[in-house]
Amino acid sequence: MRLESFVRGSWMSPGQELAEIYSAVTGDVVAQVANGGLDMGEVLAYARQVGGPALRKLTFHQRAELLKRIAIHLSERKDQLYTLSYQTGTTRSDNFIDVDGGIGTLFVYASKGRRELPNATFLLDGAVEPLSKGGSFVGQHVMTPLNGVAVHINAFNFPCWGMLEKLAPAILAGVPVVTKPATITSYVAHALVRMIVESRILPEGALQCIVGSTGDLFDHLTCQDVVSFTGSADTAQKLQRHPVIARESVRFIAERDSLNAAILAPDAGPGTPEFDLFIKEVAKEMTVKAGQKCTAIRRAIAPNAHVPAVIEALGERLSKIKVGNPELEGVRMGPVVGLGQRRDVLAQVAKLRTEANIVVGDPDNFTVEGADRERGAFIPPLLLHCPDPIRANNVHSVEAFGPVCTVMGYDGLDQAVALANRSDGSLVASLYTYDPATAADLVFGVGAFHGRLVLIDRDCAKEQTGHGSPMPHMVHGGPGRAGGGEELGGMRGVHHYMQRTALQGSPAMLSRVTQSWIKGAPTIEEERHPFRYYFEDLAIGQTFMSKERTITLEDIEHFAEFTGDTFYAHMSEEATKNHPFFPGRVAHGYLLLSFAAGLFVDPDLGPVLANYGLDSLRFIKPVQPGETIRVRLTTKSKSPRNEQYGEVRWDVEIMTDKGETVATYELLTMNAVRP
C-alpha cells in the first residue's frame, strides 16, 4: 500500500521519492512512503486557523466526549490494527499493549476530563491570593489553551499507543495535533488515523498526520506550539538544538533512551515471592515486543549472593520462550522491527560484551518457528552478566534496544543505589522487597534519577501493572538521559498544552472574568432562598445570610453523647487549662457544621437534588458555650453536567455575631435544570 499524509482536510501524497517499508517477519515490502512535497507552513497554519478555534469553542467536557467517542469507534475496529501490526513483529499480547493500551488511554482521559475538569473553556489554578491589606486587590491564576499546534513525533515501537497517549491530553486541552509516526511502522499509524478521520468525530483541522519526512516543519513553529518527541537521544538533541526551538522558546517534551533498572533487595532471595516476581518481570520485559520498549528492563541489579540463582532462574524461564512468526499459536516473541534494527541491536550487544558475558541465548544459533531466520529480523533473548559493574561503563551507557538485559551484582544497598543511578536518568526502576525500611532507602536513594518507581511485592502481585507499563494516571518521563520531560500523569499532561496566566485586580472584576465568586466581590441578595432557584437561574454571587444560633453547653454534651466524640476539649474545662489553642471547653467542629446546615438549608422539595461533597474545610476559631454563630452561603461557581442537572459550588462561611470567622468551606450540590 502507498501511504498518504492527511493534511488540510485531505489525504495527500505529493512526493515522488518513494521509500519502501519491509515486514519484520518475512522481509517482504508491505508499504511505500512518499517523501517531500508538503507545504509545512500551510499544514501548521491550517491547524492554527481551523482546528484550534474549533476546539477552543468547546468545553473540557465536550472535548472529553469526543475522546470517548473516538475510543468506542476504534474499539469496534481494533482487529484491523492487530492484523497490520503482525508485520511489525508483534504478537497478539504485544498488540494488546499497543492497540488496547492506546484506546484505554483515550477512555481514561475522557473520564478524568468529565470528573476532574469544569464544564468550561479555561481552568482556575489554585486559590485566590490576597495582594493588599484591605482586600481590594487580589490575584488568581488561570490556565487557557495555547493558540498553536501540538506537534507529536512518535517512535516506531508503539504506533498506536504512542500516538493516542499524546493525542488525548492535547485534544482535551483544546490544542490541534499534527502527528508524525516513525516511518518503519507508519502503516499501522496510518490505518489508525484513517479510522479517526473517517469517523468525523473531531472538528476539521484538529488532527493532521504527516507520513514520511517532516521537511521544514520546525522552521514554522512559534511560541504557542508544543513539540512532544519520543525516540533516540541523538535525534532529540538534534531537534532541541533547532534555532527556532531556542528563538521562540517552543515547549519541547522529550522521552528518550533509558537504561531502566530492576533492583532485587537483599531480603528477596530465592524462595521468596519477591524473587519470583523479579524473575518473571525481567523475563517479561526482555520478551514483550522483543524488548523494544523504552521502559524495558536493561539492567537487573541483584545482591552478589543471589546472582547465580538469578541467572539460573532467568535461563530456565527464557528457554521456554518460542521465537518466530507472531501470528502462530504458541509463539511468545516475534522479531525486532526490521533488519536495520537487528543490526543495531547486535552492534550494541558487541559493545556490552566488552564488559559482560552472554550467559543465556546465542545470536548465531537459535530456532525460529514458522519463519525464515535470515529474512526476518529475529534475535533470541540475550541475557548478559557483568562481573564488575562498579568499574564498567558500557553496561550503564549503551542500550541494545531489543531482547537484551544485563545482570549485575552489588554488595550493600548503597552500592545498589549507586549502580541504579549510573544510568544518569531513566524512565522507570522497579524495586522488589518486602521490607518497608529497605524500600524507603531505595526509593529515596534512587528517586531523583528515575521518573517512576514501581514497588512490587507479594501484596500487589496479582494487580500490579508491571515495570514497563506507563499508566495514564501517572507521569511518564524521566530526568537526564531519559529526556527530562513528562507525559500523561492525568491532568498534568493536559497542562503541558495550556498557558498559566496570573490575573490581578479587584475581587469584583476577577469574579466576573473568571465566573467564580471571590470574597470581597459584590453579593446578590434576593428574597427567595438560593436553594429555590433552578441551575440556570442561579446567579454567581447570590447570597443567603442565616439567622443566629447560640451554642450552649447542653448542645455540646448532647452532641458528644449522641456521636461518641468525647474528646477532652469538649468535655473538660480542667483539661484545657493552659492549652495552646483552646480557651476552655469548646464546641465540636462537626457540631458547628451540623448547626450551619440547619441554619442555611431550605428543607422543602426543590431544585437542589443532592449535597454530594464538601471541600477545603478549615476550622479557624474555636467556639465556646454562650457564643452565637450565623452562616453566609454564596454561589461561588456553576458547571453544567447534563440535561437534568448541574454542579453548584457554594462558598460557606460560619462566623460569630461579632463578625469573626469560625470556619470556611465549599459545599457542592447538584441542582436541577428548569424543566
Give the pLDDT confidence score for residue 19 in this predicted structure.
Answer: 85
Q: What is the pTM of this model?
A: 0.90
Which residues have C-beta within 8 Å of that of residue 92, sequence separation ≥ 6?
82, 326
Do 674 and 640 contact (CB within 8 A), yes or no? Answer: no
Could you tell me the end-to-end alpha-carbon distance of the chain, in angstroms, rounded to an integer?
55
Q: Give the pLDDT confidence score for residue 15 in this predicted structure.
A: 63
Which residue ranges does the chain devote to CATH 3.40.309.10?
261-478
Q: pLDDT under 50 in the chain at which residues?
A: none
CATH topology of domain 2-256+493-499: Aldehyde Dehydrogenase; Chain A, domain 1 (3.40.605)
Nearest to 625 by CA among 557, 548, 561, 551: 551
Location of each CATH 3.10.129.10 domain in the chain: 523-672
Distances, alpha carbon 11 to alpha carbons 37, 160, 198, 371, in Å:
13, 19, 11, 35
In the CATH hierarchy, which fold is given to the domain comprising 523-672? Thiol Ester Dehydrase; Chain A (3.10.129)
Cell of 504: 490581578
Q: Could you give the 3-state DSSP secondary structure of residue 644?
A: coil
The CATH-assigned architecture of domain 261-478 is: 3-Layer(aba) Sandwich (3.40)
CA proximity to 654, closest of 528, 525, 551, 507:
551
Predicted confidence at residue 468, as pLDDT, reads 85
Q: State the Cα–Cα distance between residues 264 and 431, nearest whole angstrom.
A: 6
* Cβ-Cβ contacts under 8 Å for 143 (sequence gap 6 or more): 122, 123, 124, 125, 495, 498, 499, 500, 501
DSSP state of 521: B
Q: What does the pLDDT read at residue 33?
A: 87
Please tell me the distance from the alpha carbon of residue 593 to that of residue 423, in angstroms, as a whole number.
Answer: 54
3-state secondary structure of 281: helix
Which residues contact residue 658 at a Cβ distance below 8 angstroms, ignoring those fewer than 6 apart?
Answer: none
CB 401 within 8 A of CB 388: no
pLDDT of residue 16: 66
Identify whether the C-beta of residue 586 lies closer than 8 Å to the C-beta of residue 553: no
| Residue 565: predicted pLDDT | 93
Please, where in the chain does CATH 3.40.605.10 lie?
A: 2-256+493-499
What is the pLDDT at residue 44?
96
Catalytic center residues: 255, 294
Q: Report the side by side order of strands in the sheet with 382-386.
A: 357-360, 382-386, 404-410, 297-303, 260-264, 426-432, 450-456
Contact indicator for 322, 333 with CB cutoff of 8 Å: yes
- Look-up of cell digits 540463582: 309
Convert the pLDDT of each residue in 112-152 to its tens digit.
999 999 999 999 999 899 999 888 999 999 999 999 999 99
DSSP-assigned states of every residue in 317-386: HHTTPPBB-TTSTT--B---S-HHHHHHHHHHHHHHTTT-EEEE--TTS---BSS-TTTTT----EEEEE
